């Protein structure tokens, strides 16, 4: 006999699950399905034409390119930050550790205007870079800077706990077998944290492609050059092109769902790797 | 309260946790459910408690069907393996919980609750810990509080899931005797689950040996230890030596040793295995009269009142060690040293026709 | 009487074998801190610098402006509705998922996380598709003179959508780690469902719950993209604090914009402080169980 639910003496399952499903359906699932149903009004050639105009394609290139570069930056520096926070002691470490989550807590609009003011030609950092010929604000580089900011905590927070759990014995064993520090890192530590690093990278990437608030201030928003896909959706909405906006949204949603699937697989891999260790 | 279990079965997916279990538990007895992990003993206990439901079969309390009775109405006290003390409450509040959550009309007065909890804490000798929190207590103390909490609601049955499982050896032994004494004072029908044969044999009135969802044997500790019903019970309870031989028309042969086996009168030249406890083997330096098995001493452990010998059978392909226990006195008489030749003879054995494993 | 206490280091001290040379250590620390300074600390500092650059008078004028006050009120209203609703949802979802075994549990957990992987802009868009003039319920709403999009209800709905997972995903692992034995013990002692929940479960998860509420509230008050799509940007009426920051910025009132932004930055800092404090408590609640085993 196969049953939906195993027996339990605890009460409230039907009420709790029923409410959960009802709430999720009303707030998340039904509205999300609206995007797909709306797009289904288009036939395939119409849909394809809408989501592949040169301006849309340019926005994909920018969004995915900048997101990828930002996530990669965060993978490198996030790993470094996690390493420093777990392994070393320095003054103010607790404060630094707490501030890592700032991009999660700081409203994106605030981050957006702050980064813009900072990297604009007359800003604290822009003033230094502009004479060197590096323009960041109002260029695609600005998009990359904003996306690096908002993705910063992901890699740090996924790698940190795994790094903490690595036992000193493991490294001592490697050292006593003759490995130097670099060899120990490359052959023992890095393989152990690699799944977590990939998970953090994927999370940062997924967050970046949907990001809007922190980007629009610094991007300059020039069509074909510095216009991200979420902004294009809003532009189309403001022109009452609901179908066009929805079609692009569906492309983004499908990509997000695929990323979500990949992230789940990565987390499963990461957990399995750690359970075996 | 007496408990009767009829034709109880329970599946978890494709795993049969309980297969057609029948069991009578007498009022006031202390019963042990003994078996290896996965034998179904904990599932049986949880079904009796009402924490699990069986797929088929009945549970009767005092001859009344309780199968579909919710746990709150069964009046059982349950002691969890990891105690499940409420970590946000003091010890006092833990014990008082069952009294405080009663419906207002049959709730005791505050003063009465206080009295009963204090008495229970005195009973388990931990009244001085009333204001502490569970995480401040040792494992053995938590165990006793879990018991006091279960007793507070005056249950008709007390169920304990691996009550000493998470404790270290010394505390286990102390609590074991303590539980036995407590039961003798209170006479409440109690069932406890254990995988430790020593614990089951030492504490309980009767032992139920379980394996793969079935009951292998029910009996007093003496019965199951001295007269195991089958090879499983033999091997699960204490050390045992295996000798391979044959049985034919009420006689058995192990090597040259011939033994009466009246219970196998009908056997026609069958392969058989003889099970012999280490203390049921006679050791001699010479073969006196009847036939005996030649063996060689390979190890002697002479610490304590009982001397343990490890022997190998001579002229036998089977190099399994034979374990023998003899008294210190006998050991002195024999003056054995490692490497000596001896002759052994089973004093008492049980024969089971050979089963292909 | 003297007592001798022996303390053992919680982690084995690292020796030269498993430690990098000093120059490597400080080099890595320097690179990490430089990166964090440029990308995190300086932007945060700049918010407060820009807000106060024109003086305290300008600052207070900006945050006591009637439109700013209206934005603060709307932000508080939206989160005062969204957070409690997601709180009830989070508890219900965590109760079902952590305390029971049923089929499809993993799919349900993934569905709860879904809003995290949806772009805020799309979150706003889908509500326009349902409630907007051209949407499914648009004509019916117009007929009954009800306004959701470009009005407060739309802002509340978009806020709820983006904050759905916060409390649930905090509670699920906590309640899973705590298991069901305490609740089973309570039921076996005669407690009803509500008594079990209020006296056993809730005290055990209170810090995790608070943690979830804090994070949920920070996101609810700070949400920009989703709210921007459904708001209509009507000053003094459908403007939340983040939207007000944008309007002021686009009107080149930088000092005022940063002044309002500094309120949100302050909220973020307070959130981080409370969060750091709660983290230890939550770890403790999770860890006690391991201690008992």
DSSP string, B210-266: EETTEEEEEE-HHHHHHS-SSHHHHHHSS--EEEEEEEETTEEEETTEEEE-GGGTT
Rounded Cα–Cα distance for residues A194 and A155 (Å): 11
Please report residues of A whose CB lies closer than 8 A to that of C17.
171-172, 175-176
Residue-wise pLDDT for B24-40, tens only, equals: 999 999 999 999 988 99
CB pairs under 8 A between B and C: 69
Shortest Cα–Cα distance, B181 to chain C (Å): 24
Residue partners of B357: CB distance under 8 A and separation at least 6: none
pLDDT tier, A275 (very low <50, low <70, confident <90, very high otherwise): low
Half-sphere exposure of B63 (CA within 13 A, CB side): 0
Contact A125 C42 (CB under 8 A): yes
Q: pLDDT per residue over C137-171, tens digit each?
A: 888 888 888 888 888 999 999 999 999 999 999 99
Averaged pLDDT, C257-279: 94
Output b/e per residue, A134-168; b: 16+ Cβ within 10 A: ebbbbbbbbbbbbbbbbbbbbbbbbbbebbeebee
Q: Do B149 and C189 touch (CB under 8 A)?
A: yes
Chain C's closest residue to A111, CA to CA, is: C43
What long-range pairs does B258-266 form, CB within 8 A, spacing at least 24? B258/B291, B259/B346, B259/B349, B261/B351, B263/B351, B264/B351, B264/B353
Residue of chain B minimizing CA distance to C183? B84
- Helices B139-152/B169-186 angle, 10° precision: 20
pLDDT of residue B291 exceeding 50, the answer is yes
Per-residue pLDDT, averaged over A147-176, amounts to 87
What mean pLDDT, rounded, does chain C reach? 88
Give the gap in angstroms from C-alpha A98 to the nearest C-alpha of chain B: 28
Backbone angles phi, psi at B158, to 5 degrees: -115, 125
Q: Which long-range contacts (CB under 8 A, 24 or more apart) does B239-243 make?
A: B239/B277, B239/B278, B239/B323, B240/B275, B240/B276, B240/B277, B240/B278, B241/B275, B241/B276, B241/B277, B241/B278, B241/B281, B241/B322, B241/B323, B241/B324, B242/B273, B242/B274, B242/B275, B242/B320, B243/B273, B243/B274, B243/B276, B243/B346, B243/B349
Residue B123 has pLDDT above 80, yes or no: yes
Contact of C223 with C154, CB cutoff 8 Å: no
Give the closest-approach CA distance of A45 to chain C in angstroms.
Answer: 22
Does the pLDDT value for residue A33 go beyond 50? Answer: yes
CA B127 to chain centre: 31
Across the range B305-329, mean pLDDT stands at 83
Closest CA to C124 of B91, A152, A233: A233
Query: What token pair was written down for B14?
Result: 């494709």
Which is more confident, B255 or A105?
A: A105
For residue C224, what pLDDT is reported?
Answer: 94
Q: Which residue has the higher pLDDT, A251 or B170?
A: A251
pLDDT band at A3 (very low <50, low <70, confident <90, very high): low
Q: Is the pLDDT of residue A203 over 70?
A: yes
Average pLDDT over residues B211-239: 91
pLDDT-based confidence at C17, cuts 50/70/90? Answer: low
- Work out the average pLDDT over A178-197: 84
Q: Name the more confident of C16 and C93.
A: C93
**pLDDT at residue number B3:** 94
pLDDT above 70 as % of chain B: 97
| Contact across the interface for A27 and C157, Cβ inside 8 Å | yes
What percentage of chain A carries pLDDT values higher than 90? 58
Chain B residue closest in CA terms to A3: B13
What pLDDT score was predicted for residue C16? 62
> Is C200 part of the contact surface with chain B (CB cutoff 8 Å)?
yes
On chain A, the residues whose CB falls within 8 A of the CB of C114 are: 28, 32, 260
pLDDT value, residue B354: 73
C287–chain B Cβ distance below 8 A for any pair:
no
CB-based contact B192:B32 (threshold 8 Å): yes
pLDDT grade for B289, boundaries at 50, 70 and 90: low
Q: CA dist B58 to B50, B208, C184, C187, Å?
A: 12, 18, 22, 22
Per-residue confidence at B355, pLDDT binned at 50, 70, 90?
low
Chain A positions in Cβ-Cβ contact with residue B50 (cut-off 8 Å): 9
CA distances from B229 to A84, A236, B14, B268, B315 (A): 65, 82, 28, 21, 31
Q: Are strands B251-254 and B293-301 parallel, antiparallel or unpaired?
A: unpaired
Q: Across-strand partners of B34?
A: B194, B209
The verdict on C293 touching B (C-beta cutoff 8 Å) is yes
pLDDT band at A276 (very low <50, low <70, confident <90, very high): low
pLDDT per position as a tens digit, A6-32 = 788 888 899 999 999 999 999 999 999
pLDDT, average across residues A158-178: 82
Say which residues have a Cβ less than 8 Å from residue A100's Cβ, sequence separation at least 6.
A81, A85, A152, A153, A156, A157, C36, C40
CB within 8 Å: C100 and A77: no
pLDDT (0 to 100) of residue C15: 64
Instruction: Look at residue A138 and give its three-state secondary structure.
Output: coil
CA-to-CA dists, residue B328 to B190, B283, C40, angstroms: 39, 13, 79
Distance CA B326, CA B304 (A): 11
Q: Which residues of C touch A100 (CB under 8 A)?
A: 36, 40
Residue C271 pLDDT: 94
Rounded mean pLDDT, B159-180: 86
Alpha-carbon distance B4 to nearest alpha carbon in chain A (angstroms)? 22
Confidence check: pLDDT of B172 > 60: yes
Chain B residues close to C193, C-beta within 8 Å? none
Kindly indicate the confidence band of residue B221, based on its pLDDT and cuts at 50, 70 and 90: very high
| Banded model confidence at residue C14, pLDDT cuts 50, 70, 90 | low
Q: Is C4 on the interface with B (CB under 8 A)?
A: no
Distance from CA of A105 to the nearest CA of C (A): 5
Confidence of residue A223 (pLDDT cuts 50, 70, 90): confident
Which residue of C lies nearest to B146 if distances are taken between CA atoms? C185
Q: How confident is the model at residue A100 (pLDDT cuts 50, 70, 90)?
A: very high
User: Closest Cα of chain A to B99: distance in Å?
Assistant: 19
Give C181→chain B minimum CA distance, Å: 5
pLDDT above 50 for B357: no
Instruction: Please compute the mean of the pLDDT values over residues B224-245 and round it to a whole number.
Output: 88
Q: Which residue(s) pair with B21 in the sheet? A: B8
| pLDDT score of A4 | 77
pLDDT digits (tens, 9 = 90+) for B128-159: 999 999 999 998 899 999 999 999 988 999 99
The H helix count followed by the E strand count for chain C is 15, 0
Torsion (CA) C6, C12, C17, C19 in degrees, nearest 10? -110
Of C21, C99, C122, C231, which to mutate for an interface test with A (greatest number of A Cβ within 10 Å)?
C122
pLDDT at B318: 64
The neighbours of chain C, by the rule of 3 or more Cβ pairs under 8 Å, are: A, B
pLDDT above 80: residue A243:
yes
Give the predicted TM-score (pTM) of the model: 0.85
Residue C181: closest C-alpha in chain B: B84
* Partner chains of B (3+ C-beta pairs under 8 Å): A, C
Interface probe for C, chosen from B88, B148, B149, B168 (most Cβ of C below 10 Å), is: B88
What angle is formed at CA B306 by the lines to CA B304 and CA B307, rounded to 5 degrees?
Answer: 95
Q: Which residues of A touch B70 (CB under 8 A)?
A: 9
* pLDDT value of residue B267: 78
From A241-255, B72-86, C64-78, the region with the lowest mean pLDDT: B72-86
Cβ atoms of C110 and A260 closer than 8 Å: yes
- Asked whether residue C280 carries a pLDDT value surpassing 60, the answer given is yes
Across the interface, of C184, C186, C199, the residue whose CB is closest to B51 is C184
Kindly determine whether residue A9 and residue B71, on different chains, have CB atoms separated by under 8 Å.
yes
Give the pLDDT mean for A121-142.
89
Q: Nearest by CB to A9, which of B11, B51, B55?
A: B51
In the predicted model, is pLDDT for residue C243 greater than 90? Answer: yes
Mutate which: C188, C190, C199, C200, vs B, most B CBs within 10 A: C188
Q: What is the pLDDT of residue C9?
A: 42
Chain B partners of C190 at a C-beta cutoff of 8 Å?
A: 72, 98, 101-102, 153
| Distance of residue B249 Cα from the nearest chain A Cα, in angstroms | 48
The torsion angles phi and psi of C145, rounded to 5 degrees, stand at 60, 35
Q: In angstroms, what separates the C-alpha of A8 from chain B's closest C-alpha?
A: 7
């Amino acid at each position: 006999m196969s049953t939906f639910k195993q027996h339990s003496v605890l009460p409230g399952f039907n009420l709790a699950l029923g409410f959960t499903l009802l709430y999720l359906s009303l707030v998340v699932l039904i509205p999300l399905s609206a995007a797909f149903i709306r797009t289904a009004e288009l036939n395939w050639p119409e849909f394809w034409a809408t989501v592949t105009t040169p301006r849309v394609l340019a926005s994909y290139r920018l969004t995915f390119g900048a997101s990828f570069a930002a996530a990669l930056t965060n993978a490198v520096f996030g790993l470094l930050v996690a390493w420093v926070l777990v392994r070393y002691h320095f003054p103010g470490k607790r404060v630094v550790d707490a501030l890592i989550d700032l991009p999660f807590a700081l409203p994106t609009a605030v981050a957006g205007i702050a980064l813009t003011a900072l990297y604009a030609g007359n800003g604290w950092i822009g003033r230094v870079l502009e004479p060197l010929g590096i323009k960041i604000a109002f260029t695609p580089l600005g998009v990359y800077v904003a996306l690096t900011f908002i993705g910063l905590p992901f890699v740090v927070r996924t790698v940190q706990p795994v790094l903490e759990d690595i036992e000193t014995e493991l490294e001592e064993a490697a050292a006593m077998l003759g490995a130097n520090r670099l060899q120990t890192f490359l052959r023992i530590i890095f393989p152990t944290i690699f799944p977590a690093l990939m998970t953090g990278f994927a999370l940062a990437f997924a967050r970046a492609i949907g990001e809007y608030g922190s980007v629009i201030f610094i991007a300059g928003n020039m069509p074909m050059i510095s216009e991200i896909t979420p902004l294009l959706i809003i532009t189309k909405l403001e022109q009452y092109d609901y179908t066009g906006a929805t079609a692009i949204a569906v492309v983004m949603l499908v990509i997000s769902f695929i990323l979500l699937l990949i992230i789940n697989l990565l987390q499963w891999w990461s957990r399995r790797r750690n359970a075996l260790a | 309260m007496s408990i009767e279990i009829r034709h109880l079965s329970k599946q978890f997916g494709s795993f049969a946790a309980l297969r057609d279990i029948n069991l009578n538990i007498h009022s006031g007895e202390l019963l042990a459910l003994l078996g290896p992990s996965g034998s179904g003993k904990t599932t049986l206990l949880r079904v009796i408690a009402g924490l699990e439901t069986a797929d088929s079969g009945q549970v009767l309390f005092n001859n009344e069907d309780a199968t579909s009775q919710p746990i709150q109405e069964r009046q059982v006290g349950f002691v969890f393996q990891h105690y499940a003390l409420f970590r946000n409450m003091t010890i006092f509040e833990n014990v008082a919980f069952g009294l405080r959550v009663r419906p207002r009309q049959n709730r005791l007065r505050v003063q009465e609750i206080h009295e009963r909890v204090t008495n229970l804490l005195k009973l388990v000798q931990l009244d001085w810990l009333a204001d502490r929190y569970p995480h401040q207590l040792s494992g053995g103390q938590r165990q006793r509080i879990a018991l006091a909490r279960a007793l507070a609601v005056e249950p008709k049955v007390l169920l304990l899931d691996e009550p000493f499982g998470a404790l270290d050896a010394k505390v286990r032994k102390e609590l074991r005797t303590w539980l036995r004494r407590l039961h003798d004072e209170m006479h409440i029908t109690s069932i406890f689950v254990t995988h430790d044969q020593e614990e089951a044999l030492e504490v309980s009135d009767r032992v139920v040996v379980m394996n793969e969802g079935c009951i292998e044997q029910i009996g007093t500790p003496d019965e199951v230890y001295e007269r195991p019903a089958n090879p499983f019970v033999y091997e699960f309870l204490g050390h045992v030596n295996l000798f391979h031989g044959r049985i034919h028309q009420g006689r058995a042969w192990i090597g040259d040793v011939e033994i009466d086996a009246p219970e196998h009168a009908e056997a026609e030249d069958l392969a058989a295995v003889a099970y012999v406890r280490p203390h049921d083997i006679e050791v001699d330096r010479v073969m006196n009269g009847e036939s005996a098995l030649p063996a060689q001493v390979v190890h002697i452990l002479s610490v304590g009142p009982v001397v343990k010998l490890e022997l190998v059978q001579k002229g036998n392909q089977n190099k399994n060690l034979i374990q023998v226990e003899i008294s210190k006195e006998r050991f002195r008489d024999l003056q054995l040293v490692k490497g000596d030749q001896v002759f052994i003879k089973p004093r008492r054995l049980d024969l089971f026709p050979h089963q292909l494993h | 009487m003297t007592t001798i206490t022996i303390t053992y280091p919680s982690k084995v001290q690292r020796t030269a074998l498993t430690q990098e040379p000093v120059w490597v250590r400080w080099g890595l620390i320097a690179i990490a801190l430089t990166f964090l300074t440029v990308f995190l600390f300086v932007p945060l500092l700049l918010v407060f610098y820009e807000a106060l650059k024109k003086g305290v008078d300008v600052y207070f004028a900006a945050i006591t402006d009637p439109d700013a006050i209206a934005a603060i009120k709307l932000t508080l209203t939206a989160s005062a509705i969204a957070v409690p609703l997601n709180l009830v949802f989070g508890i219900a979802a965590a109760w079902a998922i952590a305390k029971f075994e049923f089929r499809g549990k993993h799919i349900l957990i993934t569905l709860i996380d879904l809003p995290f992987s949806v772009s805020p802009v799309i979150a706003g868009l889908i509500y326009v598709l349902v409630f907007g003039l051209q949407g499914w319920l648009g004509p019916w709403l117009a007929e009954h003179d009800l306004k959701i999009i470009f009005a407060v209800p739309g802002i509340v709905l978009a806020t709820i959508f983006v904050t759905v997972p916060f409390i649930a995903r905090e509670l699920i692992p906590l309640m899973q780690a705590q298991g069901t034995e305490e609740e089973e013990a309570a039921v076996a002692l005669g407690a009803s469902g509500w008594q079990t929940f209020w006296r056993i479960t809730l005290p055990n998860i209170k810090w995790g719950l608070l943690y979830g509420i804090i994070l949920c509230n920070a996101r609810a008050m700070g949400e920009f993209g989703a709210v921007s799509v459904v708001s209509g940007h009507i000053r003094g009426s459908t403007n939340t604090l983040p939207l007000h920051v944008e309007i002021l910025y686009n009107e080149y009132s930088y000092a005022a914009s940063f002044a309002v932004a500094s309120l949100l930055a302050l909220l973020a800092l307070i959130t981080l402080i409370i969060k750091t404090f709660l983290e230890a408590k939550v770890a403790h609640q999770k860890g006690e169980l391991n201690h008992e085993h």
